[in-house]
Structure 1
């Protein structure tokens, strides 16, 4: 199959293109770096010619509320139009577990809008909602600094490795459209605070992680289960310990 991967030069996209290629598919990475801009529409129609599957793992360059909404609304509208014209038979998008539980978070509202546009497009589709990535732990810590320490709530998270995210998206892309949502997550449940504390200790990062039930995450305070997947989730196999051990050898 010809699979066009929007965001194909990013963290997940690079891994996804490699996996699809290994399995014999024609995987085409598409991003501004390759002349495909979903905001302006540049190159979108051209890259989708002959495509069987479109996979969107792109992300907004800005997490500001209005910027994120503009990105996902504009990019998804352009992609849907081009996919319809090209006769694409499966539209796959990567989203976030719990994205519909915190409407006060602007980025999550933008992802919900992306999902809505795809769902109502009439195209055969699959939405893969993934939990937080292990790779983002450093960024979570950096964005949660208050008075020299990392402040995070103990809300539950079930993070997973980017390799496992790419594998889940790849399996979905190679299969039949589910015309619904598929959740994927890691094999272990942590508190947000304990997850980040474990990573910082493993990296010999001296920053203290303060458990603060009122600390925001992405601009809002999550409840205990807001970020956890529901029944029927597909669990990845890479544990946090496995990933940290692999990271230390890289």
Structure 2
């Protein structure tokens, strides 16, 4: 059994109320929620939230009724891992059975397509890692054009290789972690304390689908990209 999960906090410092804000004709959360309900490999869906309105909305659409997220997991500093652990345990209790994969979609990353979910699940099934995490190729590279100040305040390349890297194409490939899709083995989620303790494999998506809504201006950008995506131009 594959459990689809969305974590949605009530508060947002950058964009208040963003998770239920309308975008391209429906609430932001529904771009992820509807995709989980429609995907043929997802057997059950749960939304972990401290927001009463979003919770009632999700349950009315068919999400598991696990109650609101505990207050300790609804703060700015609450780790995603702890939220996932609680949602998995509460969902297995509600279902009366264990699940075989915990599939999480970030609510603030609505540009994914169904094939992103299918591909991540396929990688999880074929390679049997502890976790699959979506990534895109990084726009900036720490071996080439990411810099940081040294103890004197002078800028240095963040990651130095012998002889240096003088062309972007020569730099080792690095990824950006994006919230498109995660697939986690339940036993790993229960036993580990953080994401990277085990074998975590990258599932690469195009960078155009890696945009996340964190700031007010992100809504306009993602609104435009959603329109392009739905028109088949992305």
Q: TM-score range by the shorter chain?
A: 0.3 to 0.5
Who wins on radius of gyration, i.e. which is larger?
A: 2
Q: When the two structures are superposed, what TM-score results if normalisation uses the length of structure 2?
A: 0.36
Looking at both structures, which has the greater relative contact order when contacts are Cα pairs under 8 Å and sequence separation is at least 6?
2
Q: When the two structures are superposed, what TM-score results if normalisation uses the length of structure 1?
A: 0.34
